[in-house]
Amino acid sequence: MRCLVTGATGFVGSNLVRSLLDGDHEVVATGAPGSTTRFLDDLPLEVRLADLLDPAQLPGLVKGVDWVFHVAGDTSTWARLAPRRRRVNVDAAALLADAALRADVQRFVHTSTVDVHGYNRDGSPLPERAGDTSLFNIGYDYADTKAAGEAAVLDRVASGLDVVVVYPGFMIGPYDHTLQLGRIIRDLQAGRTTFSPPGTASFCDVRAVSAGMVAAVEKGRTGEGYNLTGHNRAYHDVFTRIAELVGSETKPRRVPSAVLRGYGTVAQFASGLSGKPPEMDPGMAKYLCVPQASDWSKAQRELGYDPGDVDTAIRDAAAWYDEHMPVGGGR
């Protein structure tokens, strides 16, 4: 099949294109203009950087494509970037879905996030539905915009677009050049003091997620969503395991919820003075304090999904950093 992958220059997209190529599919990889393509340069695919918010560029991207994997998204949380975040996560998703519909694309896999489900206060795992507590309207605007983008794409099902939604968890693995969990790995490799938030998340190998996305396009049911999540563990436990696996002499220090939230408030105030994005804001601080957990049994049952091994993902991510972004070599 001929596949379009948006966000192909990012963490998930870089792994997804490799899964597709391993399955002998033809890949058109796109990312935002100015994105680095150096982690795609050695692959047998077509790279076409494009602005997904420009309707004039979309027909050429989807022409002759069988499957669209919409992975691109704005993962920022800074309040000042809210208008941009909504354009990227909502408007671009709708425009691409419309273009795919007009081009008679066979199937459209939309990448949402497990965050749209919120969480249960007792920490029990959630299937593909809302928990008893929402992550919407708490200042964690990423979840709000991803939910709106997902809804916009699913609105096109009634018009004939064959959509499957995937909800990735907290991914670990190679090609995390944007330093998502990678910042923690690199700081521990360098022996820097690292802090762990009090919440929990569902951790998985990014390569398992990319394989799950391919399974979703092949086996998923139209209009359905699938949790591509994994091992429900406390951040502190995972950060401590990272320290052990990379041989760090320092161990992560726990941060109480009240302290983390206070830091988020102070950091946001400081960003208003400096004009620079804060390392933490109140919404992100709240998010990192919740007992989020996910049930991925539906994806296992219908797609054959397996989240992979967290230790293996950590080791491979650390090895990738050693080769491509060594400590002391800049970020």
Q: What is the pLDDT of residues 130-168, one digit of tens each?
A: 999 999 999 999 999 999 999 999 999 999 999 999 999
The pLDDT of residue 329 is 52
pLDDT at 330: 45
- Given this model, what pLDDT does residue 328 score? 62
Residue 6 within a domain: yes
pLDDT tier, 170 (very low <50, low <70, confident <90, very high otherwise): very high
> pLDDT (tens digit, 9 = 90+) per residue, 309-319?
999 999 999 99
- Distance from C-alpha of 116 to C-alpha of 147, rounded to nearest angstrom: 6
The runs of H, that is alpha helices, within 155-296 are: 182-189, 206-219, 235-245, 257-274, 282-287
Q: Is residue 250 part of a domain?
A: no
Residue 286: inside a domain, yes or no?
no
* Percentage of the chain lying above the pLDDT 70 cut: 99
- What domain range includes position 10? 2-177+201-232+293-310
Tell whether 87 is covered by a domain: yes
Residue type, position 226, single letter: Y
303 within some domain: yes
User: Does residue 59 lie within any of the structural domains?
Assistant: yes
Query: Is residue 316 situated within a structural domain?
Result: no
Confidence of residue 269 (pLDDT cuts 50, 70, 90): very high
Residue 314 to residue 124: CA distance in whole angstroms: 25
- Length reported for the chain: 331
Q: Using the predicted structure, report yes or no on whether residue 128 has a pLDDT greater than 90.
A: yes
- Looking up residue 306, the CATH number of its domain turns out to be 3.40.50.720
DSSP state of 132: S
- Helical spans, DSSP H, in the chain: 11-22, 58-62, 82-86, 92-102, 141-154, 182-189, 206-219, 235-245, 257-274, 282-287, 297-303, 310-324
In the chain, the number of structural domains is 1
Is 211 among the domain residues?
yes
C-alpha closest to that of 255 among 198, 185, 295, 330: 198
**Are 133 and 121 spatial neighbours (Cβ–Cβ below 8 Å)?**
yes
Mean residue pLDDT across the chain: 95
**Is beta strand 107-111 parallel, antiparallel or unpaired with respect to 67-70?**
parallel
Q: Give the mean pLDDT of 302-331.
A: 88
